[in-house]
């Protein structure tokens, strides 16, 4: 059925000699055009797209029918030649739209080409090459030379890197590289000195500290641990003293030799050991922390005064100055 409809469309086009066209058809017979189109359709259906393109072009050269050109575009697309297919579809849409003004039967070819173009838009990009001094310049886009007529107009390319080289009539050659993405239209302006100078980003200047450096912060931590150690010393000393007072009361002030108190004596000795270790560690921590706080700040910061205070309520660090 599709073969019959395609043949009918081509045959109908061939019988209308008054249809406007962008180029004059050849003197070949309508039968030859129909035969070429049918052969191209058969090859297209079999996946032999290169051979199909040759037949569709043969039919187009006879009739200048947008339908034959539409099939050329679709065969190119089947071969993965996206840019060439897009260009053929764009030309088909223009030709079919012009013919459809007088012959509505070409509206279908116009709409089909427009739909295929819309589907391809995200898969292609467009580049506009503009020159400040185009006279006498030789311009290439991705290695392909551009004629003067193609400067300043959109050129379809595949997404990715595009390279523009310009050899002006006078002056040094110019080279530009850009990256384009699907669906994008980018203008590449080429002129002497038009390329922006690339500069290395400078590292931001470190902000001046006004609250102290890392050593000072560590000093607060060390001093805090020292204070905790002194606190442990106070608690364990009080517990050991309580057990000692209990033994004195139970043993009448004499040395206890009763085995019942062996565990109490061992616990008291353990508390004494913990208290001594806490005292030494706490004192060292407080002293070291105070020194780090006083001397560990940045040069721009004012040194703080620190003093270790020990009283009946325990030990603590008193710090004064600006932070």
Tokens found for residue 278: 């806490």
Q: Can you read off the two tokens belonging to residue 45? A: 């259906």
Only one residue has tokens 């600006």, namely: 322
Q: Which residues contact 33 (CB under 8 A, 6 or more apart)?
A: 10, 14, 58, 59, 62, 63, 65
Tokens 């508390």, residue located: 271
CA nearest 13: which of 28, 30, 29?
30
What is the model's pLDDT at position 260? 56
SS3 state of residue 270: helix
Task: Give pLDDT, residue 270.
Answer: 64
The predicted pLDDT at position 123 comes to 95
- Decide: residue 124, CB within 10 A, 0-12 exposed, 13-18 middle, 19+ buried: buried
**What is the structure's pLDDT at 190?**
87
State residue 169's pLDDT score.
Answer: 87
Q: Which of 240, 237, 215, 217 is nearest to 282 (CA)?
A: 237
Show the tokens assigned to 103: 């012959």
Gap between the Cα atoms of 222 and 216, Å rounded: 10
d(CA 188, CA 154): 11
pLDDT score recorded for residue 248 = 61
Please give the torsion angle defined by the CA atoms of residues 55, 60, 61 and 65, in that order, rounded to the nearest 10 degrees.
160
Residues of the chain with pLDDT under 50: 1-23, 196-205, 207-210, 299-304, 306, 308, 310-323
φ, ψ (nearest 5 deg) of residue 265: -65, -45
Residue 202 near residue 182 (C-beta atoms within 8 A): no
8 Å CB contact between 107 and 100: yes
């Amino acid at each position: 059925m599709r073969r019959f409809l395609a043949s009918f469309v081509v045959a109908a086009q061939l019988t209308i000699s008054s249809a406007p066209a962008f180029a004059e058809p050849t003197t070949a017979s309508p039968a030859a055009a129909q035969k070429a189109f049918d052969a191209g359709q058969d090859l297209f259906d079999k996946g032999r797209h290169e051979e199909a393109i040759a037949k569709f072009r043969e039919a187009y050269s006879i009739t200048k029918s947008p339908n034959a050109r539409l099939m050329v575009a679709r065969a190119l697309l089947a071969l993965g030649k996206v840019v060439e297919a897009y260009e053929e579809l764009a030309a088909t849409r223009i030709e079919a739209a012009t013919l459809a003004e007088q012959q509505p039967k070409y509206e279908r070819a116009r709409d089909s080409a427009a739909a295929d173009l819309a589907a391809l838009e995200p898969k292609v990009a467009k580049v506009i090459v503009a020159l400040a001094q185009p006279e006498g310049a030789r311009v290439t886009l991705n290695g392909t030379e551009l004629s003067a007529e193609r400067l300043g107009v959109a050129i379809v390319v595949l997404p990715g890197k595009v390279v523009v080289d310009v050899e002006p009539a006078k002056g040094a050659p110019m080279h530009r590289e850009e990256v384009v993405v699907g669906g994008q239209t980018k203008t590449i302006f080429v002129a002497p000195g038009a390329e922006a100078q690339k500069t290395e980003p400078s590292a931001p200047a470190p902000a001046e500290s006004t609250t102290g450096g890392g050593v000072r912060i560590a000093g607060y931590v060390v001093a805090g641990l020292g204070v905790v150690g002194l606190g442990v010393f106070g608690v364990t000393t009080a517990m050991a003293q309580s057990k000692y007072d209990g033994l004195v009361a139970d043993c009448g002030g004499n040395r206890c030799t009763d085995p019942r108190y062996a565990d109490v004596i061992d616990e008291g000795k353990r508390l004494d050991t913990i208290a001594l270790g806490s005292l030494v560690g706490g004192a060292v921590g407080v002293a070291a922390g105070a020194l780090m706080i006083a001397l560990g700040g940045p040069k721009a910061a004012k040194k703080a005064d620190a003093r270790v205070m020990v009283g009946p309520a325990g030990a603590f660090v008193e710090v004064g100055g600006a932070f």
